[in-house]
Amino acid sequence: MPVSRRSFIHAVGAAGGYTAAFTAMQGLGLLAPSTAFAGAPPDLAKGGGGKGAKVVILGAGVSGMAAAWELGKAGYDCTILEARARTGGRVWTVRRGDRIEMTDGSRQVCEFDEGQYMNAGAARLPSHHQIVLGYCRELGVELEVEVNTSRSALLLNPDANGGKPIRMRTAINDTRGHVSELLAKAINTGALDADLTADDKQRMVAFLKTYGDLSPDLFYKGSQRAGLRIEPGAGDERATPYDPISLKALLDEDLWNGVLFEETIDMQATMFQPKGGMDAIPHAFAKALGPKIIKRQCEVRQIRKTEKGVRIAYRDAVAGKDLAIEADYCISTIPLPVLAKIDADFSPAYKAAIARTPYRDSIKIAWQAPRFWEGPKYQIYGGLSFVKGPTNMVWYPSYGLHTKTGVILGAYTGGPAAVQLAKLPRAEQIEHTRKVIEAMHPGCGHLLEKPLQVQWAAVPHTLGIGVGWASDDEPDYRLLGQPDGPIHFAGEYLSHVGAWQEGAIRAAHRTIVMLDAQHRKGQPVTAQRII
């Protein structure tokens, strides 16, 4: 009986899951691999494999675990040493009963209701991060939409618009209306005759009329797109837009970034989150790798090059013993500020680079509350509101939409704003976010409860949310992107997708290709041979 291509694909799909079917489709030429997917996971097994070679990986974040996962496919014998009891590193979901311990000795205990959570670190997956999405497929991580954009969300600058928030739909569409009106006027006065042909001018003005929702005489007089003062209903209830906000009010610099946030390539719809928390991704890796590969609560104490490769001494907190592991190669995914404090015999240039590379801070503050932002008054279901000041934004939950309770972020802030916020005592930071939410949603501030604050510069074993390279062409970036003898490096800091899981994993992929090449040549690449 002949088997059609389609039934072949379905049979493969049933047996091997999505990835198998996908690969089969590609094999049959049904899905040409895109050039944009140049970063697909490397197939090291093709090169001959790593049978017999031992690799010790420092850190069970997604970078280290993806490295172990792919190296394992090629026969390498991997061990991951992880300082914490949990895997995931900066992919950290906090739930009821979890403890947040900081380097200052402080401790917070999560009191959220069962089912509520806070993604303290990584919290979204863009559509174009195909490597991490591919692992979600391969490892069976169930995804749901992360609502990154809501036209009902708010923009608040206490110094503008009389301190009243502006709805996102209003800012976006009133701005476009005003811009269209001005450009149509300029075109019709002949200001751009040198740039546009008569035909172009005509088409351009017709376009601007649609683009800005202009009146027949080319004025912007408001638009239903910008929101309705009266909702349409039955009888005589006709949809009635608001009067437009003046261009002057919209030219507020602090609004622009909020308005354009959704156009940032990493923030564009469709965005995802794993169901139940972002840690579903590290959990899936950890389950696939198993406890034989991942050694938890094993904190690295010493890194040494040996004649054969490397020797890593560590403290096994469960066994209560100081132990050591020998391997042919090492991959360190430990964040640089943490690595800098570990006794290691890196070459001097590496040591210096590790010591001086700055990391950025980031603060997230979360509250549990009844969903006052949903429902008739605000109609906000997921998405982000933006506010001028160090708390930066209010982020509404994308899970459990239309249920009773949710976890809302009162702050998610980085860079200089995080530094500014961090100057306040934690309790004051938290109360500040309550005030911001109260300003956005008057009368609702006191509904917030069970706050949690995570400051990444103060999280042990991490000490920062991501690397802070001054440019995308740092000499130290190039240096650490090459192995120091048998010791390789990986992590978000060795990618151009900093502070994203995609970057961490792409760096891991690049590193294991180098490691595999080194292994197949039969000798360690020395630091001196770096290009």
Residues 176-235 that bind its own copies (CB under 8 A): 179-180, 182-183, 185-187, 189, 191-192, 195, 200, 203-204, 206-208, 210-211, 224-225, 227-228, 230-235
Select from 267-275, 299-307, 331-339, 462-470 the region that touches its own copies (CB under 8 A). 267-275
Are the beta carbons of 155 and 255 closer than 8 angstroms? Answer: yes
Q: Does 25 bind its own copies (CB under 8 A)?
A: yes
User: CB neighbours (10 Å) of residue 204?
Assistant: 19
Q: How far apart are CA 486 and CA 82, in angstroms?
A: 20
- At closest approach, how far in Å is the CB of 311 from its own copies? 27
Q: Does 470 bind its own copies (CB under 8 A)?
A: no
Select from 51-59, 68-76, 243-251, 461-469 the region that touches its own copies (CB under 8 A). 243-251
Applying CB under 8 A, among 249, 254, 268, 468 the residue interacting with its own copies is 268
Q: Does 256 bind its own copies (CB under 8 A)?
A: yes
**Measuring CA to CA, which residue among 321, 367, 378, 298 is closest to residue 83?**
298
Q: 103: cis peptide before it, omega within 30°?
A: no
Q: Does 121 bind its own copies (CB under 8 A)?
A: no
Place of tokens 């510069």: 457
Q: Does 133 bind its own copies (CB under 8 A)?
A: yes
Select from 73-81, 292-300, 302-310, 400-408 the region that touches its own copies (CB under 8 A). 400-408
- Give the largest CA-CA distance in the chain: 87
Applying CB under 8 A, among 99, 107, 292, 402 the residue interacting with its own copies is 402
Q: What is the DSSP string of 337-381?
A: HHHTTSEE---HHHHHHHHH--EE-EEEEEEEEE-TTSHHHH---
Residues present in the chain in total: 531
Footprint on residues 345-374 left by its own copies (CB under 8 A): 370, 372
Write each residue from 140 to 179 as x if it is in contact with its own copies (CB under 8 A), else as -, in one continuous string. Answer: --xxxx-x-xxxx----------------x--xx-x---x
- At closest approach, how far in Å is the CB of 490 from its own copies? 8
* Residue closer to its own copies (CB basis): 317 or 401: 401
Q: How far apart are CA 128 and CA 291, in angstroms?
A: 32
- At closest approach, how far in Å is the CB of 492 from its own copies? 10
Binding residues for its own copies, total number by CB under 8 A: 117
* Residue closer to its own copies (CB basis): 259 or 313: 259
Applying CB under 8 A, among 43, 111, 163, 257 the residue interacting with its own copies is 257
Footprint on residues 72-111 left by its own copies (CB under 8 A): none
Applying CB under 8 A, among 15, 470, 472, 529 the residue interacting with its own copies is 472
Q: What is the DSSP string of 248-296?
A: HHHT-HHHHHHHHGGGSGGGPSSEEEETT-TTHHHHHHHHHH-TTTEET
Angle between helical axes of 62-73 and 280-289 (0-180°, round to 10): 30
Select from 19-27, 68-76, 114-122, 301-309 the region that touches its own copies (CB under 8 A). 19-27
Q: How far apart are CA 73 and CA 57, in angstroms?
A: 15
Those residues whose C-beta lies under 8 Å from the C-beta of residue 318, and which sit 6 or more positions away, are 296, 297
Applying CB under 8 A, among 27, 30, 517, 520 the residue interacting with its own copies is 30
- At closest approach, how far in Å is the CB of 85 from its own copies? 29
Q: Does 511 bind its own copies (CB under 8 A)?
A: yes
* Residue closer to its own copies (CB basis): 370 or 415: 370
Q: What is the DSSP string of 133-174?
A: HHHHHHHT--EEEE----TT-EEE-TTSGGG--EEHHHHHHH
Q: Does 403 bind its own copies (CB under 8 A)?
A: yes
User: CB neighbours (10 Å) of residue 188?
Assistant: 13
Can you say whether residue 59 is alpha, beta or left, with left for phi > 0 and alpha for psi between -120 and 50 degrees?
A: left
* Residue closer to its own copies (CB basis): 245 or 458: 245
Q: Does 238 bind its own copies (CB under 8 A)?
A: yes
CA-based radius of gyration for the chain: 27
Burial classification of residue 20, based on how many CB atoms lie within 10 Å of its CB (0-12 exposed, 13-18 middle, 19 or more buried):
middle
Select from 15-23, 101-109, 339-347, 387-395 the region that touches its own copies (CB under 8 A). 15-23
Structure tokens at 461: 């074993």
* Residue closer to its own copies (CB basis): 107 or 402: 402
Q: Does 251 bind its own copies (CB under 8 A)?
A: yes
* Residue closer to its own copies (CB basis): 211 or 419: 211
- At closest approach, how far in Å is the CB of 212 from its own copies? 9
Q: Does 383 bind its own copies (CB under 8 A)?
A: yes
298 CB-side CA count, 13 A: 23
Alpha carbon 190 to its chain centroid, in Å, reads 46
Structure tokens at 426: 């934690």
Bridge partners, 370 (sequence order): 405
Q: How far is CA 525 from CA 42, 290, 348, 512, 528, in A?
A: 20, 30, 16, 13, 8
Q: Does 398 bind its own copies (CB under 8 A)?
A: yes
- At closest approach, how far in Å is the CB of 304 from its own copies? 26
